[in-house]
Structure 1
Amino acid sequence: MPRIIAGDFRGRRLATPADATRPTSDRVREAIASMLGARMDIADARVLDLYAGTGALALEALSRGAGSAVLVESDRRAAAVVRENIAVCGAQGRARVVNRSVSSYLAAPGQLFDLVFADPPYALSADEMSGVLAALPPHLAEGAWVVLERASRSREPRWPSSLEPVSVKTYGDTVVTLATAVVGDGAAE
């Protein structure tokens, strides 16, 4: 059972939907927080959590000071668990769950985000993930960061020219890539 590692919600245990998700481990979430901490001020950041699962990534960001979060999850059971986890953390006023597919969400115009987490099912192909990455730039604020998790045995997706990978780390069977929006090349300004 995942828990919030630091910040206002520290120690809160999060429910996990049965068979519907693979939560990011506490170790990997802490590593992501460290990677981001050296590069961005998370205070008041607008967060987008794609393939939200338990909501742990967005809730960890909110716990550490992010201003708001949109959590996109297509599985109804998982979306219900995300709502429960938001309530456990008392983050109802700062977090919103969208129960639809990531591709559907990204196809519609919407708000701009400072930080995007993409932790798709490991079965998602590199080509499918490349499509998701290509759809992100219209949703990114200037200087936004994108965190992609994938299986270490999977192929690296193609990154659009508007996103520049700056760090890649492997943690067991998980690879985390941190990328930044390239100013003036597709990201909103």
Structure 2
Amino acid sequence: MRIISGKYKGYRLNQPHFDPTRPTTDFAKEALFNVINNYFNFDNIKMLDLFAGTGAISYEFLSRGCTDVTSIEMHRKCVDFIKKTSEHLKFEGHKVLQTDVFLFIESSSTAYDVIFAGPPYPLPNLAEIPDLIFKKKLVEGEGWFILEHNPKHNFDEHEHFWSKRQYGTTIFSIFVNEPKGYDER
């Protein structure tokens, strides 16, 4: 597991032995960020990482210049790992919160330019996440909500679904506020 690009390109993250997560593969992460690069200037966005796990997605945004990243993770050891890594790399503007993602969504009133959720694939209520995000209006104007999932889930008919990218069994569904007419680059 490594940081793909930016200031800390190539930095290896030693995944903790206690880690209860399934980190996004470097291949899938690199492909996703190639798409994101076409739409966003990392210096100017507010980013939310749900089910942050090891923090790998957060570090990718921070390494590319994002200065407002919030990572949400409920497992204490993962939170400690994220904080330790973020401090080691001297990332500024990185908030790490230990809480349940669903409680965070319900209580949040802040809109983000990019929200990434990489929940555990067997999560029973995974399919509810897009509805909760848009019900709470957490996606800023032209922002994106990206949900990582496997082929057991299909969001193509969701009212906010815009696009998806598949890399092996990893699928990133991208949701926007107004999918009709959204620019496909």
Q: TM-score, normalised by structure 2?
A: 0.87
Please report the RMSD computed on the Cα atoms of aligned residues, expressed in angstroms.
1.8
Q: Which amino acid aligns with 2:154?
A: E
**For residue 29 of structure 2, what is the aligned residue in structure 1?**
29
**For residue 3 of structure 2, what is the aligned residue in structure 1?**
4
Secondary structure at the residue paired with 1:79? helix
Q: CA deviation at 1:70?
A: 0.4
Could you list the runs of 4 or more consecutive aligned residues of structure 1 that deviate by over 4 angstroms after TM superposition?
A: 157-160
Q: CA deviation at 1:76?
A: 1.0
Q: TM-score, normalised by structure 1?
A: 0.85
Q: CA deviation at 1:158?
A: 7.7
Conserved? CA contact 2:45–2:113, under 8 Å? yes
Answer yes or no: is 1:133 the counterpart of 2:130: yes
CA distance in 2, matches of 1:134, 1:39: 23
**For residue 56 of structure 1, what is the aligned residue in structure 2?**
56
Q: CA deviation at 1:150?
A: 0.8
Q: CA deviation at 1:157?
A: 4.5
Sequence identity (%)? 26
**For residue 183 of structure 2, what is the aligned residue in structure 1?**
none
Alignment CA distance shift 1:64-1:114 (3 Å): same
Deviations 1:36-90 (A, max 9, x none): 1122222221000000011111110111122210000011111111112212321
Where does structure 2 lack aligned partners over 5 or more consecutive residues?
180-185
Alignment CA distance shift 1:159-1:43 (3 Å): farther
CA distance in 2, matches of 1:19, 1:164: 31
Aligned length: 176
**For residue 119 of structure 1, what is the aligned residue in structure 2?**
118
Q: Of 161, 178, 185, which aligns to 2:174?
A: 178
Conserved? CA contact 1:54–1:85, under 8 Å? no
Deviations 1:81-112 (A, max 9, x none): 11122123211x31111101110000003322
Alignment of 1:1-189 (within 5 A): 2-17=1-16, 18-91=18-91, 93-125=92-124, 128-137=125-134, 138-152=137-151, 154-157=152-155, 161=159, 163-166=160-163, 168-182=164-178
Q: Which amino acid aligns with 1:131?
A: E
Conserved? CA contact 1:15–1:85, under 8 Å? no
